[in-house]
Amino acid sequence: MSAEPLEPVTPAPVADASAGADIPPDVRSLDLKAKQRVYHDWEARNYDTKFSISYDQRCIDYARDRFRKVVPEGAGFGQVLEVGAGTGFFLINLALAGCVDGATLHATDLSEVMLEVCRRNGEEHGLQIATRQGDAEALPYADASFDLVIGHAFIHHLPVPGAALQEMARVLTPGGTLVIAGEPTELGDKLSWMVKNATWRSFRAVTAVPGLNSLRKPSITDAGGTATDEVLARLEHEVDLHTFRPKDVEKMARLAGLTEVSVVTEELVANWVGWSVRTIEGAVRPGLLGPRWAYAAFHSYLALHRFDDEVLARFLPRELFYNLILHARKPYAR
């Protein structure tokens, strides 16, 4: 199945107002996919800053290490597609890492604004990325078009993730490789939610002390945002639709007709620290945490990531770890 690019979604204003005034959109009546598009279109301009995304050694190493956990050195690709590519974090950093040397790069996403940023990020790093807006559950490409299809942190946004795996399998050439990384596991997500919640409550308790209140980030409107920004920001709690059990993701990939299917997981303690850091960064007044904080946070994450990989992963079940990486291949016709 293939599909045409979708029309942009424009949520209806909730009320009439004088010309020029900010009229918050009525997002209540939008279906799940329209909410994804509206939210990610809005999030796109600040997405890289929000998630500390960069195109330097820190993120190049991150992308390469995820990829190399499942794809050996020396594998070559001609046509590479990232689905749910966002601003290009995974694809661009993999290209900068030399993992897709010589390949033509393609990206698709439900959000056209994400793709605009993706193209610009690519150009800034000397990469041409051909983009098409589309739905992962009905990809706008012909059968057997790509010998590598990748994704990062996006199938948990899809109403029917299995349909996207079918589509990714369809657009793969026989013998082609699928890699999806950065998806949350069911148990890992429950554990990290407890950590996030405890961090948030502790931060609020500490900053409730007189004099410490100014450490808190101002509300969106106090920081100069509009009522529309407030409405769209609240959609963040509605767009994360799934967490996954590793064995269910393997089953979905097999049902999509793929072989050599495997799911590896990673990040336990590293993830708890990572989410605590991100929770605090999202809660404090902007500009308060300086480069020393960023340095300490990143190097603690790296050390704990090694500890998770080299020690804990040896005896704890894969279900406990937060991030999963799926690898699969499309079989050659018999």
> Is the Cβ of residue 27 or residue 110 nearer to ligand SAM in the bound state?
110
Verify binding: residue 179, ligand SAM, rule CB under 6 A. Answer: no
> Is the Cβ of residue 86 or residue 176 nearer to ligand SAM in the bound state?
86
Closest approach of ligand SAM to the CB of residue 234, in Å: 17
Task: Report the distance separating Cα 115 and Cα 132, nearest Å.
Answer: 8
Verify binding: residue 66, ligand SAM, rule CB under 6 A. Answer: no
Verify binding: residue 67, ligand SAM, rule CB under 6 A. Answer: no
Verify binding: residue 136, ligand SAM, rule CB under 6 A. Answer: yes
Residue with nearest beta carbon to ligand SAM: 86
Verify binding: residue 167, ligand SAM, rule CB under 6 A. Answer: no
Among 111, 199, 265, 271, binds ligand SAM (CB under 6 A): 111
Closest approach of ligand SAM to the CB of residue 136, in Å: 3
Closest approach of ligand SAM to the CB of residue 75, in Å: 21
Q: What does the angle CA 123 – CA 125 – CA 127 come to, to the nearest 5 degrees?
A: 55
List binders of ligand SAM among 181-210 (CB under 6 A): 182
List binders of ligand SAM among 13-42 (CB under 6 A): 33, 36, 40
Closest approach of ligand SAM to the CB of residue 139, in Å: 9
> Is the Cβ of residue 48 or residue 203 nearer to ligand SAM in the bound state?
48
SS3 for the chain is CCCCCCCCCCCCECCCCCCCCCCCECCCCCCHHHHHHHHHHHHHHHHHHHCCCCCCHHHHHHHHHHHHCCCCCCCCCCEEEEECCCCCHHHHHHHHCCCCCCCEEEEEECCHHHHHHHHHHHHHCCCCEEEEECECCECCCCCCCEEEEEEECCHHHCCCHHHHHHHHHHHEEEEEEEEEEEEEEHHHHHHHHHHHHHHHHHHHHHCCCCCCHHHECCCCCCCCCCHHHHHHHHCHHHHCCCCECHHHHHHHHHHCCCEEEEEEEECCHHHHHHHHHHHHHHHECCCCCCHHHHHHHHHHHHHHHHHHHHHHHHHCCHHHCCEEEEEEECCCCC
Binding flags for ligand SAM, 301-320, as an x/- string (CB under 6 A): --------------------
Among 35, 66, 106, 157, binds ligand SAM (CB under 6 A): 157
Among 9, 96, 114, 304, binds ligand SAM (CB under 6 A): 114
Verify binding: residue 93, ligand SAM, rule CB under 6 A. Answer: no
Q: Is residue 7 exposed (0-12), middle (13-18) or buried (19+ Cβ within 10 Å)?
A: exposed
Task: Report the distance separating Cα 70 and Cα 137, nearest Å.
Answer: 24
Closest approach of ligand SAM to the CB of residue 89, in Å: 4
Closest approach of ligand SAM to the CB of residue 250, in Å: 21
The residue count for the chain: 334
Among 11, 86, 184, 274, binds ligand SAM (CB under 6 A): 86
Verify binding: residue 152, ligand SAM, rule CB under 6 A. Answer: yes
Residue numbers at the binding site for ligand SAM (CB under 6 A): 33, 36, 40, 84-86, 89-90, 109-111, 114, 135-137, 152-154, 157-158, 182
